[in-house]
Structure 1
């Protein structure tokens, strides 16, 4: 979410212009509640909190690819 010179939301917006159907997964060491509260993501965005295991990432990505954004990894 937080990167030098740009944040993840801004990058996602730029990518979405060229790839409108792109699926995006945001990750941060902050909790989703804090990220959403600060307005960096909306409630429907796919998000995974660091640290996460390879298994957690696989479950999240599978859910996104299956178009089921209700998969939560805590």
Structure 2
């Protein structure tokens, strides 16, 4: 398996896990008492991380597809 395809698959799995954890924390209204209201909650931070990971996943899938076409000579 090509390295870029491995990166794409692993980042997709990590995106799903981080996103689900963020959704759970947002639904549970988890926010520690020792922070002020200007900071994001833990769930919000995880949702931002999931969006960034989603961008990495999409880019790596496109790059894996492009390298696959280059290997085939298309």
| TM-score using structure 1 length | 0.28
> Larger relative contact order (C-alpha < 8 A, sep ≥ 6)?
2
- Which structure has the bigger radius of gyration? 2
In terms of fraction of residues, the more helix-rich structure is 2
In terms of fraction of residues, the more strand-rich structure is 1
| TM-score using structure 2 length | 0.28
